[in-house]
A and B are shown apart, each in its own frame.
Chain A
């Protein structure tokens, strides 16, 4: 009997309001039953025109906006932007040593909290709600610490051009050390709770494999790139701030539960990066010198004419700030190339042929944050 059954693809819409798309991202899926045949991400639901706003605010006035570019790790965004401007002004060497150490401590703390959300959200998307709540609880401790330093819980505006706004309160360092001792145990607990859980591994291993070559071609950055086995970290390979004085490893994916570059590898790279961050902060707490926390910077700066593309390692990977200055009080052009942007652009390629339920795993493992993607 010849097959007279007529089949056709079904187009379904996922998002923008969807509990597991991490904000407002929309996918238009063409499916063949449960299997995705074609996936077209529709981004831009949170395009806030930050790059246009930058053209009308002063150089310093843009720092609060960088908080909102990536709110899960606002300190890191602050740091990227401020260092880019400092580089443009040629004043990288003038930043006091204490300020550099404070910057590293707060941004690594923020990296821990960002990875905590990333891991927790990935778990939650897989249906494991408990680890996420555990991470929210731990995150409150980090929020408390950062609130102690600068007075805000989420949008810090703490790092400024030339250093940091104010010195750390006296109790900060000892409280941080206490927190690290406590958190190191929690990471192990959560690993036992979820990361080594067979059901979880079954959902994540061998899904959406990104071979190293594809990762480079699509310019994946940060943990997503390292998950594919490429040992590259801006902190290590192109060190900025005081990272060259610190000793830490770069965890990379090794296909520990399946294939190299699958969702589980990307996930585990983040877990291990938390441990490395703890190591970095411990060293900083030991080495931090006394002294000034801010270089002398004029209240309105006018960087000389020219352009710079500066890269730093934020939790979502190598974030590049492209600045073009005309020697005026505000940037002529500011462009932010972020990790989520490239992470999202690979989805049409790797989502082909997976189950619809696995698309959620892919988004979770790539750690996509909508405003960073859309800006």
Chain B
């Protein structure tokens, strides 16, 4: 099944707010509003004809674009307007695949940076467990419903989420000095430091 048919299926059979994004490079994706992600995922997994039995990848990134994304024009985002950083958000992606039907789909969603919260899909796919822990560790999205949400790559007492665009790397950790040496600094262009 190609992605357009999958999109039509979702639209007809669930009451989720979805839109189709095709001008986003070689793999078009289906945009789902953050509050209906779990219901769409459940549908995708449980529907016999779709049968997405693998979550291949889950990731996200910090979007700092000051202009609103185009789909904001279509959906009501008024509840986010009160947030400080309503223009900054974390975009999340899920890549699903089905070994039985041999088709794939990319689901996309986004959460505002001030309230980075997303439903966990661990109940559907076990592989989501570590993938969500990684997103939490590096991007700071919390997943209510995740059985064991802690940092995975970085030590538990690490501060900040490194893949956010405004992250500043620490110059020392547990008393170990990690600031760039004088020699390193001499090679750096003026006005830039770690």
State yes or no: do A and B touch (Cβ within 8 Å).
yes
Shortest CB–CB separation between residue B1 and chain A, in angstroms? 15
Q: Check A337 against B56 for contact (C-beta < 8 Å).
A: yes
A320 at the interface (CB under 8 A from B): yes
Q: Check B26 against A322 for contact (C-beta < 8 Å).
A: no
CB-CB contacts below 8 Å: B148-182 with A: 151-155, 162-163, 167
B57 at the interface (CB under 8 A from A): yes
Shortest CB–CB separation between residue A291 and chain B, in angstroms? 26
Looking at chain A, what size class is its interface with the partner chain?
35 or more
Pick the most buried of B27, B106, B125, B154: most chain A CB atoms within 10 A of its CB.
B27
Q: Check A87 against B138 for contact (C-beta < 8 Å).
A: no
Contact of A47 among B55, B60, B129, B153 (CB under 8 A): B153
Q: Check A325 against B127 for contact (C-beta < 8 Å).
A: no
Q: When A333-B59, A335-B59, A342-B127 are in contact, do A216 and B106 touch as well, CB less than 8 Å? A: no
Shortest CB–CB separation between residue B183 and chain A, in angstroms? 20
Q: Check B129 against A320 for contact (C-beta < 8 Å).
A: no
Q: Give 1 or 0 for each of B19-30: 1 = CB within 8 Å of chain A CB.
A: 000011111010
The distance in angstroms between the C-alpha atoms of A335 and B91, with both chains bound, is 13
A329 at the interface (CB under 8 A from B): no
The distance in angstroms between the C-alpha atoms of A216 and B100, with both chains bound, is 11
Q: When A307-B93, A309-B57, A345-B127 are in contact, do A52 and B163 touch as well, CB less than 8 Å? A: yes
Q: Give 1 or 0 for each of A229-241: 1 = CB within 8 Å of chain B CB.
A: 0101000010000
Residues of B within 8 A of A318 (CB): 56
CB-CB contacts below 8 Å: B19-56 with A: 23-27, 29, 53-56
Looking at chain B, what size class is its interface with the partner chain?
20 to 34
Taking chain B's interface residues, is the majority helix, strand, or loop, or is none over half, making it mixed?
Answer: loop
The distance in angstroms between the C-alpha atoms of A25 and B55, with both chains bound, is 25
CB-CB contacts below 8 Å: B101-132 with A: 102, 106, 125-127, 129-131
Q: Check A341 against B130 for contact (C-beta < 8 Å).
A: yes
CB-CB contacts below 8 Å: A227-266 with B: 230, 232, 237
Q: Give 1 or 0 for each of B76-112: 1 = CB within 8 Å of chain A CB.
A: 0000000000000000010100010010001000000
Q: Check B162 against A219 for contact (C-beta < 8 Å).
A: no
A37 at the interface (CB under 8 A from B): no
B7 at the interface (CB under 8 A from A): no
Shortest CB–CB separation between residue A321 and chain B, in angstroms? 10
Residue of B nearest to A42 (CB): B152
Q: Give 1 or 0 for each of A200-225: 1 = CB within 8 Å of chain B CB.
A: 00000000000000101111000000
Q: Check B55 against A304 for contact (C-beta < 8 Å).
A: no
Shortest CB–CB separation between residue B124 and chain A, in angstroms? 9
Shortest CB–CB separation between residue B109 and chain A, in angstroms? 14
Residues of A within 8 A of B25 (CB): 88, 304-308, 325
Contact of A230 among B29, B99, B130 (CB under 8 A): B99
Residues of A within 8 A of B130 (CB): 341-342, 344-345
Q: Check A308 against B26 for contact (C-beta < 8 Å).
A: yes
Contact of A308 among B27, B53, B102, B127 (CB under 8 A): B27
Shortest CB–CB separation between residue A50 and chain B, in angstroms? 11
Residues of A within 8 A of B93 (CB): 307, 309, 322
The distance in angstroms between the C-alpha atoms of A306 and B22, with both chains bound, is 9
Pick the most buried of A49, A325, A374: most chain B CB atoms within 10 A of its CB.
A49
Residue of B nearest to A304 (CB): B25
CB-CB contacts below 8 Å: A322-363 with B: 322, 324-325, 332-333, 335, 337, 341-342, 344-345, 349
A167 at the interface (CB under 8 A from B): no
Q: Show the binding face of A for B, using Cβ within 8 Å.
A: 43-44, 47, 49, 51-52, 87-88, 90, 214, 216-219, 230, 232, 237, 304-309, 311, 318, 320, 322, 324-325, 332-333, 335, 337, 341-342, 344-345, 349, 374
Excluding A333-B61, A335-B59, 11 further A-B contacts by CB distance (< 8 Å) are A51-B163, A52-B162, A217-B125, A219-B125, A237-B102, A306-B26, A307-B25, A309-B93, A333-B59, A333-B60, A337-B57
